[in-house]
Chains A and B, each alone.
Chain A
Amino acid sequence: MPFNTIDQFVKKNVLAVQDFAILSLRSATNLFRRPLYVSDILIQADLIGFGSLPIVILTGFFTGGVLALQSASALSQFGATGITGQLVSLSMIKELGPVLTSLMVSGRNASGMASELGSMQVTEQIDAMRALGTDPTKKLVTPRLYATIIMSFFLTIISDGIGIAGGAFVAIFMLGQDGSQYFHTAYQVLRFPDVLQGLVKPLFFGTIIATVGCYFGMTTRGGTQGVGRSTTQAVVVASVLIIAIDFVISRFMIGIFGR
């Protein structure tokens, strides 16, 4: 690769990161500037939150179920199948609930945001909005950002609960374990840092989903082909960032709380 091409590649990516940071910061701080589009936040919360509920419930249930199956299979070698509930509960609440929920929400909503805003961008609707005196980041990005953060939080809690219930279903009806023991161990093992870790993660993941989806949408170029490209990029970047940030948050929380 010639030097000037590398130079341009680096410059382009540094500028993209700068633009992403500016868009994220502006859309976050717009909450404190008038006008605040409360009805748009509620509409987005409905679309993102309620709309994602079926996939989150299904994902949570089967993840909990498969966790119970695999855990019981491994634990049976040590005669410790009684702690299946502990494993399912800890795994769901600390890791799988937040991460899988966010990946599902990302697949559904980061792509939706990128394609919707991307279509608006290539058909000059964003420019028309600016020409009509409306700030597109306030009207389009800020509602999506806060709706995604709030709904990711609640969807994760639902996913955690459904996952533990899915694990219980498998443990009780397929593996013949005692239901009372399953729920008792699942509850007893949880400590404050575990719950905190599980509830902090979706706040970061929600931010990633909305800002990445909106950034790729707002910077779409190149007609319908560009919209398709933005949509794919938004899902890929959001998914990779979710997993990477999950590692960073986990390391940070374990560093602080020791578990």
Chain B
Amino acid sequence: MSITTPTAPTIDEAAPQPDPNAPVITFDHVSIGFEGKKVLEDISFTVSRGETLIILGPAGGGKSVLMKLCDGLLQPDSGNITVFGREISHLKEEELYSARAHIGMVFQESALFDSLTVRDNVAYRLIEEHLPDEEVDRRVREALRFVELEDKIDMFPSELSGGMRRRVSIARAIISGPDLLLYDSPTAGLDPITSTTIVELIIKQRDVGHNTALLITHRLQDAFTLVSHRYNEQTKAMEPLPDGELDQNTRFIMLNEGHIVFEGTTLEFILSNDPFIRDYLS
């Protein structure tokens, strides 16, 4: 079951309606730095509707900063960022809240509200929109069923394992049926089995919900699982794509020291002769 229920009315009605054929995200010569040090420099790329962009790169390369720029949590020093056809890099914070109604974000360390139960964490956006309790409960249970944690609804985040917290975070991100999902290292710090569970959830959401997604990962095996597997709705399990196929809607970007050093398809990535990528892949 996917979570595709449209978000209730937080979208700014005055905002221009997005063009269905336009790229979901466009970065145009974006640069940002902190305390005089450049973190991202002259970054340009686009993400089309329904596409999954995997962002790879060594730690400290600016991947999380890039993710936060997509959600308007940071503003670039220069360049333009367009999300759903709306230029967000110079919007006021109040205007950004409506722009974020289409976006779900999974943070690196889950970022669950530790004083709220799983139910209230997942329902946060719906509660803020003052939806009736019955609808909130129904949608929370639906989202938690999707991540297979319905029985943990009344627990607090501190009572959950790291993997469970990450799954609750995914449930919170998808409950409003966002068109764009941002996964910031969703498998970081998890054991291989739990990581595979998380990757399976991401594939399930991709194949059933048909969202556009950006995903940061340090684990190459997670990235390759994403491009080489699909979710089978009949068997309700992840399975390899037939004949060694690769998912055509998945692309790679590699960041190093604030620059894009690679952008392309899975095959181009694997076959790249760039010494840095060869070194990274090995």
Contact = CB atoms under 8 A, between A and B. Distances in A.
B105 A128 contact: yes
A130 B128 CA distance: 12
A132 B106 CA distance: 11
Interface string B83-124: 000000000011011101101010111011110000000001
Contacts of B114: 119, 123, 125
Contact of B111 (A35, A123, A133): A123
A176 B73 CA distance: 67
A127 B73 contact: yes
A181 interface: no
Given A132-B124, A132-B128, A134-B128, A125 B111 contact: yes
A132 B71 CA distance: 10
A22 to B, nearest CB: 11
B125 to A, nearest CB: 5
Contact of B107 (A120, A127, A135): A127
B10 interface: yes
B280 to A, nearest CB: 27
B68 interface: yes
Given A125-B113, A127-B68, A128-B113, A133 B128 contact: yes
Nearest to A131: B105
Nearest to B101: A133
B116 to A, nearest CB: 10
Contacts of A131: 71, 73, 100, 103, 105, 107
Q: Looking at A119, A127, A131, which has the most chain B CB atoms within 10 Å of its CB?
A: A131
Interface in B119-136: 124-125, 128
Contact of A133 (B10, B68, B73, B109): B10
Q: Looking at A120, A127, A128, A135, which has the most chain B CB atoms within 10 Å of its CB?
A: A128
Contacts of B10: 133
Contacts of A128: 105, 107, 111-113
Contacts of B105: 128, 131
Contacts of B109: 123-124
B64 to A, nearest CB: 10
B117 to A, nearest CB: 15
Nearest to B182: A131
A129 B94 CA distance: 13
Interface residues of A, number: 15
A195 to B, nearest CB: 39
Interface string A130-155: 11111100000000000000000000
A134 B10 CA distance: 11
Given A124-B107, A124-B108, A127-B68, A135 B113 contact: no
A133 B113 CA distance: 14
Interface in A88-130: 119-120, 123-125, 127-130
A123 B73 CA distance: 15
Contacts of A130: 73, 93, 96-97, 100
B139 to A, nearest CB: 14
Contacts of B111: 123-125, 127-128
Contacts of A120: 113
Contact of B100 (A123, A124, A133): A133
A40 B111 CA distance: 21
A133 B107 contact: no
A119 B109 CA distance: 13
Nearest to B72: A130
19 contacts: A119-B114, A123-B111, A124-B107, A124-B111, A125-B112, A127-B73, A127-B107, A128-B107, A128-B111, A128-B112, A128-B113, A130-B93, A130-B96, A131-B71, A131-B107, A132-B125, A133-B10, A134-B124, A135-B93
Rank and list the top 6 A-B pairs by shortest CB-CB distance, nearest first. A128-B111, A124-B111, A131-B105, A133-B97, A124-B107, A132-B125
Given A129-B113, A131-B71, 15 more contacts: A119-B114, A125-B113, A127-B68, A127-B73, A128-B112, A128-B113, A130-B96, A130-B100, A131-B73, A131-B100, A131-B105, A132-B100, A133-B97, A133-B128, A134-B128
